[in-house]
A and B are shown apart, each in its own frame.
Chain A
Amino acid sequence: MSKTNQLENINRSRKSYIIYKSSKGFDLYTDFSKKIVLNNRNIFRFLNQKIPTKKFKETDLFIGFFGYELLNSLIGVKVPQQRDIKFPKGIFYKPEKKISLNNKLIYNPKIKINFKKKFKINIDSQHYKKIFDKFKKKIKSGETYQIKICTKYKMKSKIDPLDLFCRLSHTNLAPEAFMIKDENYSIISCSPENLITKIGPMVTTKPIAGTVKKSKKMTKNKALKYFRNNLKETKEHNMILDMERSDMSRICKVGSVRLVKEKVVEEYKDLFHYVSLIKGELKKKVKNIDIIRAMMPGGSVIGCPKISTLNLLNKQEKENRNIYTGSFGYIKFNGDLKFNIIIRSILSFKNISEISVASGVVVDSNSRHEFNENYIKAKALIDLFK
């Protein structure tokens, strides 16, 4: 049986499954023997559990996600009462089967869904400007240095998640892309950003700040020049680097936290990203829960400094972020971790699809520009609903 058929068969079997980008293609995890729905109380037990690791198999891992609110509560930041669709705060699965797929996911849906409705945004440009101006004042007074305003697009419709994911991966083969299909919800994401990779005692984080679209005129060298000459992008990137260095320093040995790659351009199928790589060696006795609390939620999508900026955001936002700016990834039974930042994602729950996007307010950003930036980010996903 070919691999494509395998994918179609699993999809048709109505089994839950997860697809996660690997270095060579995609890994598909299924046959889940456990499903753990997380809340503010059981998360500590989940993260602190000791798992015997006699013979380590490649399915010996928990794979799933932490939602935004759960990550706030882990670091003691309160999220006030918000409009809420009662989506779980986090879910992890124990797979019993893993299949490797190549980069070309092929799937021919039997039924084509017609999307009749349109996505609606929760904040219009006037309202956005009000929030923007308020946060700009907070930057002037030093309460935050950079803050990301989130807008949300929603539409009611049935979807075929695998179809959306395959089409998305054809146009944008993102290094942290993933998809979850479960009985009552699905998530599709083309996240580009790795937040934590832990192998043995070594941890890395790979923040992205700065993205441009590829074109005939925009080559890799031009992209580098563009980023270097763009003071706003450079300052935002600098700030994130110092913040991530500090987060890593909480859990790493003194002197081990190093900027391995400083502001380089990475080339993807349609985009160039301005990225850096920070590496460190964990202190002895650091547990997974310490790593997660130090690093999450990922600073590059929140703003800086993290705690006061989170408080400002949470006071402002009337709607639960759910998965947006949470983290998806796995915890292997041998202690290794890999987690991304959940952005550029579609959450589909109770037949409603939601897409959240955010862009940054720094002192010299412009309200209309950032509002449009948000729309451009969302549009890549909204366009799938055709």
Chain B
Amino acid sequence: MIYVIDHNDSFTHNVVHQFSLFDKVECDNYNNVNRLKLRQAKVIIFSPGPGNPKNYPSTSKIYHRYKGKKKIIGVCLGFQQILFCEGAEIVEQNKIYHGYQSPVKVINKNSIFKKNKIFKVGRYHSLKLKEPFKINNFDITMRCLESKVAMAFENKKDNIYGFQFHPESFLTNNGNLLIKKILST
């Protein structure tokens, strides 16, 4: 079972439907997380959402508790939440991307995706990862081709993945394949 923690977002159920193509999915609000479901889940997803990772301490707790024990995937705010838990700074950006389609590029040869591959993705984010950023086992694997902002990370050792863009958006090309690959590694 895949357990989606919803941060009151208006895109969460697109995430739920996308993951439901591959496994049974449960989804609860971050205020109302079920411990039993958490324990039973094979994969935990942190949904997109408004605001800043520091507004969601309960999600941070879940991250620290299950890091290394279960596969964890973060989307948009979820991506920032994981990095924030690892000590990264999440900051406002000058140019804001809401409803934007941008090309991203796979930049890391260790990525589970093919290096130098370029594809279009849908973005909805005010904030971004502050760089330089260096944390053990975490690799930035994709960047926006235009702004160079970090768009994905992978931590293969602990099985943690994150996307700053929205794989579930209709603006993202082949989002389902992306998720399939992440789930099967």
Contact = CB atoms under 8 A, between A and B. Distances in A.
Contacts of A247: 10, 13
B50 interface: yes
B15 to A, nearest CB: 8
A308 interface: yes
Given A238-B122, A363-B98, A141 B10 contact: no
B83 interface: no
Interface in B6-63: 8-14, 16-17, 20-21, 49-52
Contact of A249 (B9, B17, B124, B126): B17
B92 to A, nearest CB: 6
Contact of B127 (A142, A235, A308): A142
Contacts of B124: 145, 239, 242
A305 B127 contact: no
A306 B10 contact: yes
A246 to B, nearest CB: 4
B98 A146 contact: yes
B164 interface: no
Contact of B17 (A255, A306, A308, A363): A255
B143 interface: no
Given A239-B124, A305-B8, A308-B51, A246 B98 contact: no
B171 interface: yes
Given A141-B52, A242-B166, A249 B13 contact: yes
B14 A308 contact: no
A357 interface: no
A145 B49 contact: no
Interface of A: 139-146, 234-239, 241-243, 245-247, 249-250, 254-255, 257, 259, 262, 299, 304-308, 362-363
B43 to A, nearest CB: 16
Contact of B51 (A143, A146, A242, A262): A143
B133 interface: no
Residue of B14, B77, B98 ringed by the most chain A CB atoms within 10 A: B98
B119 interface: no
Contact of B50 (A142, A250, A257): A142
A224 B69 CA distance: 51
A144 B13 CA distance: 18
Contacts of A140: 92, 96, 126
Nearest to A250: B13
Interface in B119-149: 122, 124-127
B54 to A, nearest CB: 11
Contacts of B13: 246-247, 249-250
B101 interface: yes
Nearest to A249: B13
Given A254-B21, A305-B49, A363-B126, 8 more contacts: A139-B96, A141-B127, A142-B50, A242-B11, A249-B17, A257-B17, A259-B170, A308-B50
A71 to B, nearest CB: 15
A146 B170 CA distance: 18
Interface string B85-101: 00000001000101111
A171 to B, nearest CB: 32
A238 B99 contact: yes
A249 B13 CA distance: 6
A305 B101 CA distance: 18
A142 B96 CA distance: 9
B169 interface: yes
Contact of B10 (A139, A142, A255, A299): A299
